[in-house]
Chains A and B, each alone.
Chain A
């Protein structure tokens, strides 16, 4: 069965610090990979996605993620975080017809 692991439960950073959130998955077939963000009190929003092609994917708000097939990883990065990036971040893997989510990483950015 497919599974998604997010190793960081809660990350606390100061503004302008660099961010990397880990995501590893377990699935035997072709997958599509996603990062979603959930701001406090809001619903899930898509940050970026990988279907095929260039493994370095750029998303909204300066986020990017790199698909490393050999490591089954899809880590999320941002060079310089802002206070407004405080949110919950979810990695998701879609195989066949359903989507599985990681446990989520809470990011707190201190001003």
Chain B
């Protein structure tokens, strides 16, 4: 089946620094990738939709200048949390949409802790 990876799986950073999270579709091309945020014991909240070669579409309330998304190729999307603050600590999950079956496959997530 389709596999989506995320790197890193866990990251701890200091307040004010920036962190980049990578999302890769390993065995298929994904024209569309999604970034979600999951708070403890809560559901996934869609942050943005990323289309290869174009600007990401952000959900209401998500700061585009804080959460920079780049979808440079059909297999890679990156999320950069800029000037991170403790309230940005969360579990970030990406998913990739296959063009064949239009199913979404999820990555394992990245746990970000900002100290």
Question: Which positions in A face B, CB cutoff 8 Å?
Answer: 32, 34, 36, 42-46, 49, 90, 94, 97-104, 106
Nearest first, the 10 A-B pairs at minimum CB distance are A43-B108, A44-B106, A103-B43, A101-B44, A104-B43, A101-B43, A98-B49, A43-B106, A43-B109, A99-B104
**Shortest Cβ gap from A60 to chain B (Å):** 12
- Contact-size category for B: 20 to 34
Expressed in whole angstroms, the Cα–Cα distance for A102 and B45 within the complex equals 9
Q: Which residues of A have CB within 8 Å of B104? A: 34, 94, 99
Q: A43-B93, A44-B93 are in contact. Are A98 and B106 (CB under 8 A)?
A: no
Q: How near does chain B come to A22, taking the closest CB pair, in angstroms?
A: 15
Given known contacts A43-B107, A44-B106, A94-B104, is B46 in contact with A103 (CB within 8 Å)?
Answer: no
Give the distance to chain B from A41, nearest Cβ to Cβ, in Å.
10
Q: In the complex the two chains form, what is the Cα distance from A94 to B104 in whole Å? A: 10
The B contact surface, by secondary structure, is strand
Cα of A94 to Cα of B44 in the assembled complex, Å: 14
Total number of A-B contacts with CB less than 8 angstroms? 41
Q: Which of A36, A44, A98, A102 is close to B46, meaning CB atoms less than 8 Å apart?
A: A98
Residues of chain B touching chain A, judged by Cβ–Cβ distance below 8 Å, are 32, 34, 36, 41-46, 49, 93, 95, 97, 102-104, 106-109
Q: How far does the Cβ of A45 sit from chain B's closest Cβ, in whole Å?
A: 8
Residue of A nearest to B91 (CB): A43
A90 to B43, CA, bound (A): 8
Closest A residue by C-beta to B45: A101
Contacts of B36 in A (CB 8 A): 101
A-B contact sample (12 more), CB < 8 A, given A90-B44, A94-B104, A99-B34: A32-B102, A34-B104, A43-B93, A43-B107, A43-B109, A44-B44, A49-B103, A97-B49, A98-B34, A100-B46, A101-B44, A103-B43
28 of the cross-chain contacts (CB-CB < 8 Å) are A36-B106, A42-B108, A43-B106, A43-B108, A44-B44, A44-B93, A45-B106, A46-B103, A49-B103, A90-B43, A90-B44, A94-B104, A97-B49, A98-B34, A98-B46, A98-B49, A99-B34, A99-B46, A100-B46, A101-B36, A101-B43, A101-B44, A101-B45, A102-B43, A103-B43, A104-B42, A104-B43, A106-B41
